[in-house]
Amino acid sequence: MDLFNCDPSVHSYNAIMNILVEHGYYEQAHKVYMRMKDRGVCSDVCTYTVGIKAFCRTRRSSAALRLLKNMHFMGKNGEKKLEEQERKEFEHSGQSPHA
């Protein structure tokens, strides 16, 4: 996080990854995610939402669905938020969420 001059929290990592995904820098977003994991920062529902968005925008719907299905530990509220984001991203990308 030295490069971005901010604290290494899940919130700052999520913000940076989201900006990268929004501008199509998917590989760089993945590198930031791996750095976050290496530094022991735990993912949250927003982290997974950014991941799902990246998978949908790169037409990797099966990976997005797999990520969503692995979210059982987030609880129902987390799953509902992810399902809504997934639906929006599939609509945005023109894919079917049942592919």
For residue 83, the model assigns a pLDDT of: 62
Three-point CA angle 88, 31, 29, nearest 5°: 25
For residue 7, the model assigns a pLDDT of: 74
Q: In the CATH scheme, what is the code of domain 2-93?
A: 1.25.40
Q: Is the pLDDT of residue 45 over 60?
A: yes
In the chain, the percentage of residues whose pLDDT exceeds 70 is: 67
What average pLDDT is seen over the chain?
A: 80
Whole-number Å distance between alpha carbons of 92 and 10: 26
For residue 19, the model assigns a pLDDT of: 97
Q: In terms of C-beta density within 10 A (0-12 exposed, 13-18 middle, 19 or more buried), how is residue 56 classed? A: buried
Is the pTM higher than 0.85? The answer reads no
Q: Is the pLDDT of residue 97 over 60?
A: no
> Which is more confident, 80 or 20?
20
Whole-number Å distance between alpha carbons of 49 and 96: 17
Three-point CA angle 84, 59, 80, nearest 5°: 15
Locate the domains of the chain by residue range: 2-93
